[in-house]
């Protein structure tokens, strides 16, 4: 039974306001992406990293510089997240009964091995496992005319990764033609007619999108160190 992690790291860093893509930015002495891979190293039996082809050499250089030896494969990213994940699936062998696949954002470096393990276990039982956390901010919906409408946040959740699925189910879902509504893997699987099982995420499982997120991640890592 294979537990595969697909780590999607295709960002260009435009919102991060950096010449260096955010997955390669330093976080407590090492690139963000290395922290992310480490979280899966003790749980996954296979790790596949999705990178734009122009970043493959940079990644190899960084691995040498930091003596990073965790075994992982690298495949080319696509123009969209959907295409990147599909490229990774195309690099995997035919799925067998019991195999599960987790798809994770490369710039969520603080995911715990406990959450990874919990997601794999839930996907084996239910076919899917998508981590979510309650919203803490008030939310509103902006209407087409520019007005807004307050929404009840108690019924809403923020969605995280790793989004984990029975491997055969995920392969089947990614045969669906890509749609603009596909914002993550759960939306692809739902469009294929499958029900999504939610599991508890982690408030610290943040996504590095803006420079301030990197500062927050550094503080969390510093606090976690003995």
Q: Give the model confidence (pLDDT) of 84-122 as tens digits.
A: 999 999 999 999 999 999 999 999 999 999 999 999 999
Match 């067998």 to its residue by tokens. Answer: 96
CA pair distance 42, 116, nearest whole angstrom: 10
pTM, to two decimals: 0.94
Two tokens, residue 60: 């190899």
Percent of the chain past pLDDT 90, that is, above it, reads: 90
How many helices and strands, by DSSP H and E, does the chain display? 7, 12
> Average pLDDT, stretch 220-226?
79
Taking CA atoms, 132 is separated from 20, 64, 147, 155, in Å, by: 29, 35, 28, 12
CA pair distance 111, 204, nearest whole angstrom: 7
Would you say residue 210 has pLDDT above 80? yes
Would you say residue 226 has pLDDT above 60? no
Q: Give the model confidence (pLDDT) of 15-60 as tens digits.
A: 555 678 999 999 999 999 999 999 999 999 999 999 999 999 999 9
CA pair distance 69, 14, nearest whole angstrom: 29
């Amino acid at each position: 039974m294979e537990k595969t992690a697909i780590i999607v790291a295709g960002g260009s860093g435009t919102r991060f306001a950096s010449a260096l893509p955010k997955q390669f930015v330093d976080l407590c002495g090492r690139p963000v992406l290395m922290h992310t891979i480490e979280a899966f190293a003790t749980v996954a039996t296979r790790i596949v990293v999705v990178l734009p082809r122009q970043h493959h050499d940079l990644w190899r250089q960084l691995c040498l510089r930091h003596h990073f030896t965790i075994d992982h494969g690298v495949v080319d990213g696509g123009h969209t997240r959907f295409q990147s994940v599909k490229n990774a699936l195309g690099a995997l062998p035919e799925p067998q009964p019991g195999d599960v696949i987790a798809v994770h954002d490369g710039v969520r470096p603080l995911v715990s091995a406990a959450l990874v393990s919990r997601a794999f276990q839930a996907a084996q039982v239910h076919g899917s496992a998508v981590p979510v956390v309650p919203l803490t901010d008030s939310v509103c919906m902006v209407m087409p005319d520019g007005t807004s409408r307050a929404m009840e946040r108690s019924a809403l959740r923020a969605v995280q990764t790793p989004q984990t699925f029975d491997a055969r189910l995920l392969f089947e879902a990614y045969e669906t033609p890509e749609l603009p509504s596909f914002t993550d893997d759960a939306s692809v699987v739902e469009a294929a007619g499958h029900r999504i099982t939610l599991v508890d995420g982690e408030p610290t499982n943040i996504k590095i999108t803006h420079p301030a997120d990197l500062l927050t991640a550094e503080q969390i890592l510093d606090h976690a160190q003995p």
